[in-house]
Amino acid sequence: MALNTDPNIPDPDGFYAELLGAHEGLSDEASTALNARLVLILANHIGDRAILTEAFAAASKSEA
């Protein structure tokens, strides 16, 4: 299985609003901690190290 980078979230605007809502009222530190917990939870859900390695590479390219 390869990393799916095509749009795949039903109601992406609703998802984004929910993500922003989860951060509402949090300090920068608490928001960063929330993001870290979310990444770890989702990485555990994926569970495939090869896919996670591809995700690291894709995310790193996005910063360049």
Interval 5-40: pLDDT, tens: 999 999 999 999 999 999 999 999 999 999 999 999
In the chain, where are the structural domains located? 27-64
User: Distance between the two ends of the chain, CA-based, in angstroms?
Assistant: 26
Residue 63 pLDDT: 67
As given in the structure block, the two tokens for residue 45 are: 């859900």
Q: Is the pLDDT of residue 55 over 60?
A: yes
Instruction: Tell me which amino acid residue 12 is.
Output: P
Residue 64 has pLDDT above 90, yes or no: no
CA-wise closest residue to 23 among 37, 14, 10, 35: 35
The pLDDT tens digits for 40-49 are 999 999 999 9
